[in-house]
Amino acid sequence: MIALRSLRYRHLAIDALDIPPGLTSVIGPNGSGKTTLLRLCTGIDLPESGSVLIGDRSPRDAEIGWVNEFPDRNILFETVMDEVASPLRFRSVSCTETGDRVERCLELCGIRHLQDRSIRELSGGEKILVAVAAALVHTPSVLILDECDSHLDAARTAALGQLIKRSGTEYVIQCTQQMEVAAQSDQVVYLDEGTVRLSGSPREVFSRLSGTPFYPLSWRCRA
Q: 44-83 pLDDT, tens per residue?
A: 999 999 999 999 899 999 999 999 888 777 788 889 999 9
Is the per-residue pLDDT at 169 higher than 80? yes
Burial of 222 (0-12, 13-18, 19+ CB in 10 A): exposed
Q: Where in the chain is the domain with CATH 3.40.50.300?
A: 1-61+143-223
State residue 164's pLDDT score: 85
Does the domain at 1-61+143-223 match CATH 2.70.98.40? Answer given as: no
Mapped onto helix, strand or coil, the DSSP state of residue 151 is: helix
